[in-house]
Amino acid sequence: MMAARWLRHLCEGFLALCLLVMVVAVFGNVVLRYVWGTGWVVTEELGPRWRLAKASTWASTW
């Protein structure tokens, strides 16, 4: 039981880190597009990957 709780906290921490990275990347992309008219191509890939991670987490809680 203790290992399951530890693993759950580890997964939640990892997802929180992923969310933080995505928010910073998207915000940086918005600033780059507004100021210099360019942006990071990789940030367009973060949205679908985040939704996949979120969906897999919700599925594991059922």
Could you tell me how many helices (H) and strands (E) the chain has, helices first?
Answer: 2, 0
Residue 13 is predicted with a pLDDT of 92
The Cα 14–Cα 51 span in angstroms is 14
Domains contained in the chain, number: 1
DSSP, residue by residue, 16-36: HHHHHHHHHHHHHHHHHHHHH
- C-alpha angle 20/22/25, rounded to 5°? 110
Residue 4 is predicted with a pLDDT of 82
- Residue 28: give the domain boundaries: 2-61
pTM: 0.59
In this prediction, the residues of the chain whose per-residue pLDDT falls under 50 are none
Residue 52 is predicted with a pLDDT of 58
Residue 46 is predicted with a pLDDT of 62
